[in-house]
Structure 1
Amino acid sequence: MAELLPDGFIALTAEGTVESFNRRAVEICGVEPAVLRGGDVRQVLPLQDVHGQDWWEISEPSRRLPTTTGHREKALMLRSGRMVLLTARYLRDPEGRLFGILLALRDAAERERADSAVAELITTVAHELRSPVAGITGFTASLLQHWDRFDDGDKRVMLETIEHDAQRVTRLITELLDVARIDARTLQVRPQPLDLEALLRTHVARCVVTGEPESRFELRVAEDLPQLWADPDRLEQIVANLVDNALRHGAGLVRIEVDRSSLDDGTPAVSIAVSDQGDGIAEANRELVFSRYWQGGAKAGTGLGLFLVRGIVAAHGGSVRVTDAPGGGARLELLLPVRSDTG
């Protein structure tokens, strides 16, 4: 069971002899299993604190106290210079005599990368929120203070802007909540028969209303498609992310294509592909783009969009992939399985 855990674990005798360990502990410590097994932990796993002091010597007095149960997570350095996060648990009998020690090890670099990603996400989210919140605050204040100075046309424009900015905030909050649901594997979808072409045309029309030229979009839907069952709200979320991604990373045509296809196991499916005319996505990054917080280029958003796309598509039993678009750019294609009773 310990081999399945992401942390390193080492079990010691009361004297500090290594009794057992998992593979992750070997990877973190950088010590051969034969050297680690049966060795004196002070020799095979020398640890220093941030002041260069031997941690085993510093912690010796506490091990002798019958009331001490262990040490909370502490950043320590291996002889190689690698930083690790160590937690110690002392095993004692009813009289307080020490009979064993359990060590849990984590790679400090992994924690630092995770903390850095979270910090970067917070910064990005704050930046994404600042603009719409400023718009809502500014227009609301103007309307409250100078209502009589504006004609009906001005008021309508300002109220529509407030509504648009409020929707941006709502969308961002929804994305953050959905990321948490995907991580917890609690994301739910409610499939129902839907008109895919109508959904796509509605989304394109919405983009045009918000300022995108109609000439930027090309929609091709194959004839005689099987009836698609999907969660309409989730599918709209997917389409919005894919189209927004294409608009952001390419200045030319955004092509949306729908056709018959199949999953890798032969299950009939509907293919929805969105292509742009941007710089494309390097082959080495085509899996990374679906990672949480991935941001590609100066026009990147929160880095959550494609992570959400894959999570929602997976919840429908489908798949998503990146390829080269004809003539350059990126092509993101998702496959959604078709219910067997719909043909």
Structure 2
Amino acid sequence: MTGAGTDWTALDALPDPAVVVAPDGTVVHATPLLGRLLRRAANELAGRPVAEAVPLLEETGRDWWACRRPLDPDPGTRRLPETELTLVDHAGGHRPVLLTARRAAGEQAALVVVLRRGERRRRLDAARSELVSTVSHELRSPLTSVKGFVKTLLTKWEQFTDAQRRQMLATVDADADRVTRLLGELLDVSRIDAGRLPLRRSMIDLADVADQVIQRVD
């Protein structure tokens, strides 16, 4: 798969902006999403030097194309690792992007560059951090309760009646179930993030769910 002789329009169906670069550094094909991200028509990019058509800056402000030189022939490198960069659009605006690139097969192989919007990644990272903070807080409460009841029973067992002991142990059991449920939900989130969570539809009683939530709050 080289540059000029290949139909690259199939890339237009990708959910992320992409550009195909010939070995001489000119744009072979740009997807409509990339044109939208750059605020110009995608067909205007073809034939232009990629460093001018798709300006990418490193964190230091240096030109990524010139510094990284991804078009230099390197038989041992087919894929470039994901890199955080800044894309400069046609109006001079700066947009954070995540770049991945892969060299097509062949001696004169084109380079296929895919850009993912960095804003989405940052939102996901923020949501993930918030989730971890929330789960940590939710775990601390039942664990503190379990620790307190167990310590009390160990040190003052003889001071409680059988009914009081059963009540305290029932509370410990309920809190342990809560911790197990929270850990299961956290694992589900990690599976969703990895795209490996099978979804099973089932009927639920909304009134029963609402009652459970109210009981937890109370």
Q: TM-score range by the shorter chain?
A: 0.7 to 0.9
1:22 partner amino acid: T
Given the alignment of the two structures, is residue 33 of structure 1 paired with residue 42 of structure 2, yes or no?
A: yes
| Structure 2 CA distance for aligned equivalents of residues 124 and 28 of structure 1 | 34
| Structure 2 CA distance for aligned equivalents of residues 109 and 85 of structure 1 | 10
Question: CA separation of 1:21/1:88 partners in 2, compared to 1, >3 Å: closer, same or farther?
Answer: same
| Structure 2 CA distance for aligned equivalents of residues 187 and 106 of structure 1 | 26
Q: How much does 1:58 deviate?
A: 1.0
Corresponding residue number in structure 2 for 1:77: 86
TM-score scaled to structure 2, two decimals?
0.77
CA contact (8 A) 1:181 1:187 kept: no
| Structure 2 CA distance for aligned equivalents of residues 34 and 116 of structure 1 | 36
| Structure 1 CA distance for aligned equivalents of residues 27 and 181 of structure 2 | 52
Query: Equivalent of 1:91, from 81, 104, 128?
Result: 104
Q: Deviations over 1:169-217 (max 9, x none)?
A: 2333344455547965623357xxxxxxxxxxxxxxxxxxxxxxxxxxx
CA contact (8 A) 2:36 2:42 kept: no
CA contact (8 A) 2:32 2:41 kept: no
CA RMSD of aligned residues (A): 3.0
Q: How much does 1:43 deviate?
A: 0.9
Question: CA separation of 1:246/1:143 partners in 2, compared to 1, >3 Å: closer, same or farther?
Answer: closer
| Structure 1 CA distance for aligned equivalents of residues 26 and 70 of structure 2 | 18
| Structure 2 CA distance for aligned equivalents of residues 165 and 45 of structure 1 | 55
Corresponding residue number in structure 1 for 2:162: 152
Given the alignment of the two structures, is residue 51 of structure 1 paired with residue 60 of structure 2, yes or no?
A: yes
3-state DSSP of counterpart to 1:106:
strand
CA contact (8 A) 2:103 2:110 kept: yes
3-state DSSP of counterpart to 1:83:
strand
3-state DSSP of counterpart to 2:77:
coil
Corresponding residue number in structure 2 for 1:106: 116
| Structure 2 CA distance for aligned equivalents of residues 32 and 127 of structure 1 | 49
1:52 partner amino acid: G
Q: Deviations over 1:272-311 (max 9, x none)?
A: xxxxxxxxxxxxxxxxxxxxxxxxxxxxxxxxxxxxxxxx
Corresponding residue number in structure 1 for 2:72: 63
Superposed, 1:100-179 pairs within 5 Å as 100-176=110-186
Aligned length: 203
CA contact (8 A) 2:71 2:111 kept: no
Question: CA separation of 1:6/1:44 partners in 2, compared to 1, >3 Å: closer, same or farther?
Answer: same
Corresponding residue number in structure 2 for 1:11: 20
- Of Structure 1 and Structure 2, the greater helix share is in 2
2:175 partner amino acid: D
* More displaced stretch, 171-180 vs 7-16: 171-180
Corresponding residue number in structure 1 for 2:4: none
| Structure 1 CA distance for aligned equivalents of residues 155 and 111 of structure 2 | 69
| Structure 2 CA distance for aligned equivalents of residues 177 and 67 of structure 1 | 37
Given the alignment of the two structures, is residue 187 of structure 1 paired with residue 199 of structure 2, yes or no?
A: yes
| Structure 1 CA distance for aligned equivalents of residues 37 and 135 of structure 2 | 33
Question: CA separation of 1:152/1:245 partners in 2, compared to 1, >3 Å: closer, same or farther?
Answer: closer
Q: How much does 1:128 deviate?
A: 0.8
Question: CA separation of 1:91/1:187 partners in 2, compared to 1, >3 Å: closer, same or farther?
Answer: closer
2:199 partner amino acid: L
CA contact (8 A) 1:143 1:155 kept: yes
- Of Structure 1 and Structure 2, the greater strand share is in 1
Q: How much does 1:164 deviate?
A: 2.3
1:170 partner amino acid: T
| Structure 2 CA distance for aligned equivalents of residues 188 and 99 of structure 1 | 44
| Structure 2 CA distance for aligned equivalents of residues 57 and 121 of structure 1 | 39
Question: CA separation of 1:148/1:118 partners in 2, compared to 1, >3 Å: closer, same or farther?
Answer: same
Q: How much does 1:138 deviate?
A: 1.6
3-state DSSP of counterpart to 1:67:
coil
TM-score scaled to structure 1, two decimals?
0.52
Question: CA separation of 1:170/1:188 partners in 2, compared to 1, >3 Å: closer, same or farther?
Answer: same
Q: How much does 1:91 deviate?
A: 3.2
1:242 partner amino acid: A
